[in-house]
């Protein structure tokens, strides 16, 4: 079995993770596992590294005030009422399983990018409830954004590492027929050149999606995707979406809606700018301190996020 490099196999600081953030509910599955590395600059000019303090204001969608804000933002973006209802039913399924009292009760501000939670306890509570088949970041984002994505030429490619996603989708009967083909096409792994030049990797991701006819159609709601590279030195190098969430407009602020992992909470953060959103995601997912890999690259819909930059 192809293994993932140790630094990406464990929890990142706090609850920001890599593959576990949106992926596997269990280990030991017979699947092609490839080592992860990632991407670094936007399509345009090189982005300079910058130091940034990343406090976040976040909620686990327990309190009515935050729920109402998210609901209003989703409705303002044109999401159907039934999709909004389904989203909050999924949130409540998780929150009730681990106990709302163990989650953040209202919008809370931290000193850094990592939410304050007892992740070990939450995972234990989730397992005590049978480790029920839930949802991860990809399933959550597609559930909210799917109606605003077009895939003209469905071609799944390599979906081997999406086995946990498929188990959850099948158990919940979430996406079927053309919707399932669309999900597979968007989140399948993309063969790329063996390079750490993230400008080149970004071009290849865009070219692959263009060939598949993937396009996004909503100016008030956007899917942000953290692309990373799988490279074990033996097999074809590939790009994949290691984490994703939905960016919403909320007056003069932005809300970022995400599911941290199958076994970890839903979370919504409030930001004053898109730049803050980029910096939060980079603080969470750019964790290769030894420089063995390239940087993650963040896409907004089907292009590199304009505010993309690397943090020191």
Which tens digit of pLDDT belongs to each residue from 235-264?
888 999 999 999 999 999 999 999 999 999
In the chain, % of residues over pLDDT 90:
63
Per-residue pLDDT at 49: 56
Per-residue pLDDT at 52: 58
Dihedral pair phi/psi, residue 263, rounded to 5°: -100, 0
pTM: 0.86
On whether the CB atoms of residues 22 and 243 are closer than 8 A, the answer is: yes
Distances (CA, A) of 135 to 91, 119, 138, 167: 9, 17, 8, 10
Residue 270 has pLDDT above 60, yes or no: yes
Residue 133 has pLDDT above 90, yes or no: no
| Mean pLDDT, all residues of the chain | 84
Which tens digit of pLDDT belongs to each residue from 54-63?
789 999 999 9
Residue 44 has pLDDT above 50, yes or no: no
Percent helix, strand, coil in the chain, to 5, is 35, 20, 40
Per-residue pLDDT at 194: 86
Per-residue pLDDT at 83: 98
| Residue range 205-217: mean pLDDT, rounded | 97
Residue 101 has pLDDT above 50, yes or no: yes
Which tens digit of pLDDT belongs to each residue from 135-191?
999 999 999 999 999 999 998 789 999 999 999 999 989 999 999 999 999 999 999
Distances (CA, A) of 33 to 20, 229, 238, 243: 13, 12, 11, 17
């Amino acid at each position: 079995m192809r293994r993932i490099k140790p630094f990406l196999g464990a929890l990142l600081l706090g609850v920001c993770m890599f593959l576990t953030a949106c992926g596997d509910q269990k280990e030991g599955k017979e699947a092609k596992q490839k080592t992860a590395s990632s991407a670094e600059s936007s399509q345009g000019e090189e982005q300079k590294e910058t130091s940034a303090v990343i406090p976040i204001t976040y909620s686990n969608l327990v309190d009515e005030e935050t729920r109402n804000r998210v609901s209003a933002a989703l409705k303002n973006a044109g999401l159907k009422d039934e999709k909004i209802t389904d989203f909050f039913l999924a949130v409540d399924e998780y929150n009730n399983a681990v106990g709302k009292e163990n989650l953040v009760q209202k919008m809370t501000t931290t000193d850094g990018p990592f939410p304050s939670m007892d992740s070990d306890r939450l995972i234990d509570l989730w397992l005590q409830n049978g480790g029920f088949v839930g949802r991860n970041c990809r399933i959550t984002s597609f559930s909210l954004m799917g109606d605003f994505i077009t895939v003209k030429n469905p071609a799944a490619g390599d979906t081997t590492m999406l086995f946990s996603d498929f188990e959850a989708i099948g158990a919940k009967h979430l996406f079927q027929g053309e919707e399932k083909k669309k999900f597979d096409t968007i989140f399948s792994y993309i063969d790329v050149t063996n390079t750490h030049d993230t400008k080149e990797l970004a071009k290849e991701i865009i070219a692959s999606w263009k060939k598949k006819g993937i396009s996004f159609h909503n100016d008030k709601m956007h899917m942000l995707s953290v692309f990373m590279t799988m490279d074990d030195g033996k097999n074809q190098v590939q790009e994949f979406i290691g984490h994703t969430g939905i960016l919403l407009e909320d007056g003069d602020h932005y809300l970022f809606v995400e599911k941290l992992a199958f076994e970890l909470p839903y979370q919504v953060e409030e930001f004053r700018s898109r730049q803050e959103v980029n910096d939060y995601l980079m603080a969470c997912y750019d964790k290769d301190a030894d420089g063995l890999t390239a940087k993650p690259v963040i896409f907004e819909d089907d292009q590199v996020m304009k505010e993309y930059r690397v943090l020191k």
